[in-house]
Amino acid sequence: MAADGGAREAARAQLVALPDAWDDRDEAAAGRGGAGRRRAALFEEEEPDCAALVAPPDMEELLEELAQRQSSSATMRTWCAEAEAAPGGAPGAPDWQAFAEARWGPLVRRSKCEDWEGFVVSRCPVHPGAEGSGMLQERFCGDVWRLLVACILMSRVSSAETKDRCLAAFFAAYPTPSAFKVAKDGDVFPLVKPLGLFDSRIKGLRDVTLRFLEMPRFMLGLAPPLKPAGIGVFGYESYLIFACGEGPRIRPDDKNLSGYCAWLRRALAAHQP
């Protein structure tokens, strides 16, 4: 056992740690592959008028509008029906705590939440409105915790195959934040070892998961106290675009996210009557 622990520590010592606030730009490297080339061609068309676009907002600026979007979203209507069908629920009387425990695991009880509906609403994703871009984040836009985990794990990794394999293994082992919360670092390490930078990634995963489970109202930002470890500009902008409905109106700092938002605006415009 000691030998195994020593080998694991030696392997980890060879990894290079990232700063807490890394600025994720890894998707650019993926352009070398076939999927990356197809996505680049999809995003390359210029927009004729960008005057109406705004910089990604701070969470304090967005909070009230986001809560309204979340409350009125199609996802929230589905969740409401599921909460009404929960053991303690009834038509017109959703059991939000039971729903939260069923969806994210029993450790949500640690939040000491007094408003379980608000707890759930603040974790409800707002779908970007179109699909088919090929962006990895698009796969996880229905689950805020998984989206943020994916952003942390995909950082600084150019191989799409490595990302896919490690993300699939991670979520197979830890399908909910409660399942990951009780996992030991030594059990997580083999799943994400091919991605490198284990110490920084595990720190970010732990922080995001703790916040997701325990904050009465989940919020994310780029400055304390709303900034988790492991989430930089790329992760925050991905959250705004793929979980908050901000894609059509913002111009992200990240080049690939900016290209995605331009594609999203064209896709939404094409489906307008």
Determine contact, residues 267/130, Cβ cutoff 8 Å.
Answer: yes
Give exposure, 48-79, as e/b (b: 16+ Cβ within 10 Å).
eeeeebeebbebeebeeebeebbeebeebeeb
In this predicted structure, what is the pLDDT of residue 19?
A: 31
Q: Give the residue ranges of the chain where pLDDT is below 70.
A: 1-51, 273
Question: Which amino acid, residue 96?
Answer: W
In this predicted structure, what is the pLDDT of residue 81?
A: 97
Determine contact, residues 128/139, Cβ cutoff 8 Å.
Answer: no
Give exposure, 140-167, as e/b (b: 16+ Cβ within 10 Å).
bbebbbbbbbbbbbbbbbbbbebbeebb
In this predicted structure, what is the pLDDT of residue 26?
A: 38
**What whole-number distance in Å separates Cα of residue 242 and Cα of residue 144?**
9
In this predicted structure, what is the pLDDT of residue 159?
A: 85
